[in-house]
Structure 1
Amino acid sequence: MKDQTSGTGNTARGHVLVHDPTLRDGHHAVRHQLTAAQLRAYAEAADAAGIPVVEVGHGNGLGASSLQAGRARLSDDEMLSVVREALPRSRMGVFMLPGWGTVHDLRRAVAHGADVVRIGTHCTEGDLAERHLGLLREEGVEAHGVLLMSHMASPAQLADQCGRVVEYGAQGVGILDSAGHYLPADVTARVAAMRAAVDVPLMFHGHNNLGMAVANSVAAAEAGADILDACARGFGAGAGNTQLEVLVPVLERMGFRTGIDLYGVLDAADIAERELMPRPPSIDSVGIVSGLAGVFSGFKTRVLDVSRREGVDPRDVFFELGERQAVAGQEDLIVDVALALRHRAGDGFVDRTGDGSPAAQGVRAG
């Protein structure tokens, strides 16, 4: 393994488990159209690099392939089968949102050899994971409960939710910065509160809308997080996720151990850029607004499509969605907002430079 800490003088600070959702979160960026060959190519490279957990599936998780969330090129069964075969060393992870996926979907994933299963809920609705976490424990699978859109809850609320999820059987808990809204101090406060409330592994999943994903992930590790998510080239929804091949050497330089080979993870990132994506994610204007507004990054493609069709500014759509506290799974709300903005524009309501505009309201709220 290439030495990543040479010359830093840092002493070991403990182990951080890196969880790689490139083949799940990245699906958002390509309308869930990855092929079997693409899944296999990246999974093999990730396995060769020693990445501990490789997550696969539709961007919204098991059972989510649909007209509303986007139809995937491959079925869940096909994706899981291909990736499982490509991971002789790494564990395979899957993700599910109750309401999209069902108990039937969980059982099929377990049958395909899923090692780590995450059940996601809105940040204040951990109770929705109780039944599914119980089932997974009965199946003998490592089960985690993760809280989405976590910027919408206080540190104390998140700590309380994590405690409940552990009572339901979660062997790990964590938060997703689903909108890329956090700054490092926000992450530190939340992870510290959660660490004081539970003694199971803690996870943090960052998005890069404001360019803070690696810094936020480092803040999480320093505050006590044991598991960090990161994707090759940041491949993920909206402005992308924490960039895997950057995070790993940064952690190692700081004295954290990841067990991931530097050259291997760099090679995997090169393969991801060449094979999976038309171009790496970037922090564009819409992505910044999405982060400021605190809106789920996975809405980006849908917001752009609907805004173009209705002739409205997608930035206004994002700020209005933020005002309405839209969450993942409410994709239909995008159409309602765009139609409302078009109507207001027809009445001369929208003034993007005035204090009363949706954009101005969103900046203040952000």
Structure 2
Amino acid sequence: MGKRSFEILDVTLRDGSHAMKHAFTEEQVRETARGLDQAGVTYFEVTHGDGLGGSSLQYGLSAVDELKLIEAAVEECKSSQVSVLLLPGIGVKEDLQEAVKVGAKMVRVATHVTEADVAAQHIALGRELGLKTIGFLMMAHMAPVEKIVEQGKLFESYGAEVVYVTDSAGYLLPHEVKERIAALKNELTCEVGFHGHNNLSMAMANTIAAVQAGATYIDGSLRCLGAGSGNTQTEVMVAVLERLGYNTGIDLYKIMDVANDVVAKYMHRPQEVTGSSLIMGYSGVYSSFLLHTQAAAQKFGVDERDILVELGKMKAVGGQEDLIYDVAQRFALKKSSLV
């Protein structure tokens, strides 16, 4: 097929963990991994939605130990390689070492967009372990372009081989993605990537903007399975980018088959732009807050949209899930005082 124009990295088995309430079974992981491998996907990610070590009461307990799922995915691959996500403070260096023992070949070290400095030792360890090592700047809408460039340079100085603009809230619009990707391309010598969420129905347009601005790593999930309204839809992305004249290196029919014959059957619900996820994109709220917010709204009898708008005003970030319940309780108290 010739040289690929870029790498499409599939995150169904990691970002999709949020939508699946972290309840992937080993068989679901094996079937999905097998399909991704047969379709020609070079890298795909397998971990708890919040990365290595994410299984907890705060973030949600995994039904199956993630090392077992990583190992199962690796066993199904003839050519694909398995990536893991690591958020410093949630996952620790020992978690990464254990993931490598069961076959992980890539690590994406994720920090808030202004906190790349907390990842220096994790990036260094990734390189030391021989992994493809990536820096992931989350909630990229929350910092100006100059700050993103500054933080990207830090990641590169620590040894990151790719730096990602991560639209964790699905808040960015195409011109904003283009501006951020282009700035990193101009200022860094390493490669640049983009990870989008579809809360404003912009994920595909944003991904195209990223590619046109020079991104060489782009993320997708099968059937959009991911936090909030999900990610750029992998199988649709392949078709769109091939139509635009790019070589994805992925077999369209085979990637459609794993999306429709495997993933669609185990999804808890269709991935749609719904009232709550739309408000997440509009307010700039972390996409993985969706299910937590719905649970809090039900518990306290308040409108989940009010919670999300307030979290947006507070500029809440990943790791602050406890704020969701604080805000819900505050709205409930206010509501009862008006009765």
- For the aligned pair, the TM-score class normalised by the smaller chain equals over 0.9
Q: CA deviation at 1:258?
A: 1.0
Q: Which structure 2 residues correspond to residues 289-300 of structure 1 after superposition, within 5 A?
A: 289-300=279-290
Alpha-carbon spacing, 1:105–1:43, altered in 2? closer, same or farther (3 Å): same
TM-score (norm 2): 0.97
Identity score, percent:
42
Q: Which residue is equivalent to 1:112?
A: 102
How big is the alpha-carbon RMSD for the aligned residues of Structure 1 and Structure 2?
1.5
Q: Spell out, residue by residue over 1:114-164, the C-alpha distance to the aligned partner (whole angstroms, 9 max, x if none).
A: 111000000000001101011111111111110111100111111111011
Matched, 1:277 2:267: yes
Matched, 1:214 2:204: yes
Q: Tell me, yes or no, if the aligned pair for 1:233 and 1:272 is still in contact at 8 Å.
A: no
Secondary structure at the residue paired with 1:124? coil
Give the AA of the match of 1:327.
V
Q: Spell out, residue by residue over 1:247-267, the C-alpha distance to the aligned partner (whole angstroms, 9 max, x if none).
A: 111111112111000111111
Q: Which residue is equivalent to 1:190?
A: 180
Matched, 1:127 2:127: no
Distance in structure 2 (CA, Å) of the matches to 1:138 and 1:252: 36
Q: CA deviation at 1:108?
A: 0.5
Distance in structure 1 (CA, Å) of the matches to 2:102 and 2:245: 36
Alpha-carbon spacing, 1:240–1:193, altered in 2? closer, same or farther (3 Å): same
Instruction: Please list every run of 5 or more consecutive structure 2 residues that lacks an aligned counterpart in the other structure.
Output: none
Alpha-carbon spacing, 1:163–1:266, altered in 2? closer, same or farther (3 Å): same
Distance in structure 1 (CA, Å) of the matches to 2:156 and 2:16: 28
Distance in structure 2 (CA, Å) of the matches to 1:154 and 1:275: 41
TM-score (norm 1): 0.90
Q: Which has the larger radius of gyration?
A: 1
Q: Which runs of 4+ in 1 moved over 4 A?
A: none
Q: Which residue is equivalent to 2:133?
A: 143
Q: CA deviation at 1:14?
A: 6.6
Q: Tell me, yes or no, if the aligned pair for 1:273 and 1:280 is still in contact at 8 Å.
A: no
Q: Tell me, yes or no, if the aligned pair for 2:19 and 2:268 is still in contact at 8 Å.
A: no
Alpha-carbon spacing, 1:195–1:147, altered in 2? closer, same or farther (3 Å): same
Distance in structure 2 (CA, Å) of the matches to 1:41 and 1:76: 16
Alpha-carbon spacing, 1:13–1:292, altered in 2? closer, same or farther (3 Å): farther
Q: Tell me, yes or no, if the aligned pair for 1:232 and 1:272 is still in contact at 8 Å.
A: no
Q: Tell me, yes or no, if the aligned pair for 2:26 and 2:64 is still in contact at 8 Å.
A: yes
Q: Spell out, residue by residue over 1:288-335, the C-alpha distance to the aligned partner (whole angstroms, 9 max, x if none).
A: 001101001111101000111101110000000001110011110101
Q: Tell me, yes or no, if the aligned pair for 1:41 and 1:271 is still in contact at 8 Å.
A: no
Picking from 30, 33, 51, the partner of 2:41 is 51
Q: Tell me, yes or no, if the aligned pair for 2:223 and 2:264 is still in contact at 8 Å.
A: no
Matched, 1:328 2:323: no
Secondary structure at the residue paired with 2:88? coil
Secondary structure at the residue paired with 1:257? coil
